[in-house]
Structure 1
Amino acid sequence: MTSRLTTLVFGALTVVASAVCVRLGFWQLDRLTQRQAQNAIVSARGAQAVLSMGALSGQDTSATHWRRVRVEGVADYERELVHATRSQNGSPGVYLLTPVRPLDGSWGDTVLIVLRGYVYAPDGRTIDFATARERDTLRMEALLTSFPPPKPGMARMQSSPRAMRLLDRDTIATMMGRPVAPFILLALGDTIMQDITRPTRVPPPPVNEGPHLSYALQWFSFATVFLVGFAVFARTKRR
């Protein structure tokens, strides 16, 4: 009786564990489907014509997300910020966040934030802003990206007044003293570092399917191992 009870308990645990693994496998397949749909949107919008800053004004940014934009505006380097604790090619650094006023005046008093690039910083938050400047009038192509979802915690770093721990739109607007557009413009260009004191463009997010399929196969494999293991165990007990 004890042996039979042990087999039943082991069998029940095996079924539960296998069911969890199968559920996680299908969850990864769902994420793969979502990723593929997102990739299709990114690829389609990336192939469309470059937008002007004036064309963005008043539009639903969800419809223009991942579109390429032609930036022509005056940079306000005095209010420039950094997104701290970033890395590129394994080196610590920051992302430069530059407020820009479009030359055509299409956005009025609203600040446009341009992520100009990555700058090396050993402590991940401190750079020489003066050497990282480009021209006063910026002319470049950029990718329209969204602010990340809100996260708990302080957005600003206590130790560095111009360093952001989190990219929070409301906090940045308070620091700028002006409204901030509901998107971030990722400057496009050379992503190979030439000078550690000068900004290097940040590569756009890769358009790939990620590890979801391999993760799904792993979870299904775990479920199979549990079931086969129980079958061997039960057969051994009967013998």
Structure 2
Amino acid sequence: MRRLKFLLRPGWVILAALVGIFAYLCFTVLAPWQLGKNTDTERRNDLIKASLNADPIPVQDLLSPGRPTAEDDWRRVTVTGTYVPASDVLVRLRSNGGDPAYEVLTPVRLPDGRSVLVDRGYVDAINGTKPPTSIPAPPPGQVTVDGRIRLSEGTIPDRPPIDEDGYRQVYSIDSGQVSAVLGTPLTSGYVQLAENQPGGLDPVSLPQLDAGPYLSYGLQWLAFGIMAPLGLAYFVRAELLERRKEKAGKPALVSASPAPASPAPSQTTEDKLADRYGKRR
């Protein structure tokens, strides 16, 4: 355990905490988020595929208390009734083929007196973000239209309805909110019109029936959550090996400075005299 004391240093403690938090978020937030989106997309695709071969049913069959439900979403329906005049509501911040657009919502009053909200389709924005000066009115009198039942999108917090450029406008398709804007009771959910229907505009197309990248993204976050602790373990092991090498020690270095020379033996008096007279001779 003494070898692991270095892990108590602030730098290692912070690194371990960051790795732990990241791995926790990968397994509990990021991966479930993407995998959940993949599940929702697959469920939506299954409902749309099932509806392609199903015959439309009267919308009244899906307007009983508590309906429509998630299993009713995208069902093909027919709506017979009368468009409520002067009751258009625009949905802001939409895109049609990559261009800014608005969706036009208009209630249809059913023979039993109830009203269902109908998404008539797109109108293109002008001058970048402004709604058109006029929107084609739906035909008067009784009509029968085909479409798909949709669940309300819900409201957007801090984005209340507005009255601008001569139109009542909302930021999402929510039958409860539109009901409050118009002062008209509406059934739950709404109907998205199909192509070439009375009162229809540029229709909202069906989403592409592919799963999208959500599954691969979810698996990637799971992989990151596994790799992060493994990476930390790798660095801890590398640090231990380095410390083991240092503890083993390195061979002593030989001094590069030359050893001091031994002093020459001192000459005796006789040697000095011999050298002196010898040199003279």
TM-score > 0.5, shorter chain as reference: yes
From 144, 147, 161, the equivalent of 1:142 is: 147
What residue is the counterpart of 2:160 in the other structure? 155
From 107, 121, 124, the equivalent of 1:120 is: 124
Matches within 5 A, 1:210-225: 210-225=212-227
Deviates more, 1:181-190 or 1:112-121: 181-190
Amino acid at match of 1:211: P
TM-aligned CA distance change 1:54 to 1:127, over 3 Å: same
**Contact in 2 for aligned 1:65/1:145 (Cα 8 Å):** yes
Matches within 5 A, 1:40-79: 40-58=46-64, 60-62=67-69, 64-79=72-87
Q: How many residues align?
A: 227
What residue is the counterpart of 1:193 in the other structure? none
- TM value normalised by structure 1: 0.77
What residue is the counterpart of 2:23 in the other structure? 18
Which stretches of structure 1, 4 residues or more, deviate above 4 A after TM superposition? none
**Contact in 2 for aligned 1:46/1:66 (Cα 8 Å):** no
Deviation at 1:91, TM superposition (A): 0.4
Amino acid at match of 2:236: A
Higher strand share: 1
**Contact in 2 for aligned 1:84/1:124 (Cα 8 Å):** no
What residue is the counterpart of 1:194 in the other structure? none
Deviation at 1:186, TM superposition (A): 0.2
Q: Secondary structure at the match of 1:235?
A: helix
Amino acid at match of 1:150: T
Matches within 5 A, 1:192-231: 199-231=201-233
5+ long unaligned stretches in structure 2: 243-281
Separation in 2 of the partners of 1:26 and 1:165? 28
Deviates more, 1:4-13 or 1:177-186: 4-13
What residue is the counterpart of 1:133 in the other structure? 137
Amino acid at match of 1:166: S
- TM value normalised by structure 2: 0.67
**Contact in 1 for aligned 2:174/2:189 (Cα 8 Å):** no
Structure 1 vs Structure 2: percent identity of aligned residues?
A: 24
Separation in 1 of the partners of 2:171 and 2:17? 47
TM-aligned CA distance change 1:14 to 1:133, over 3 Å: same
The structure whose RCO (Cα within 8 Å, separation 6+) is larger is: 1
Q: Deviations over 1:117-172 (max 9, x none)?
A: 11101354522334x23533544310000112233235312434422223343342
RMSD of aligned Cα (Å): 3.0
Q: Secondary structure at the match of 1:180?
A: coil
5+ long unaligned stretches in structure 1: 191-197
What residue is the counterpart of 1:32 in the other structure? 38
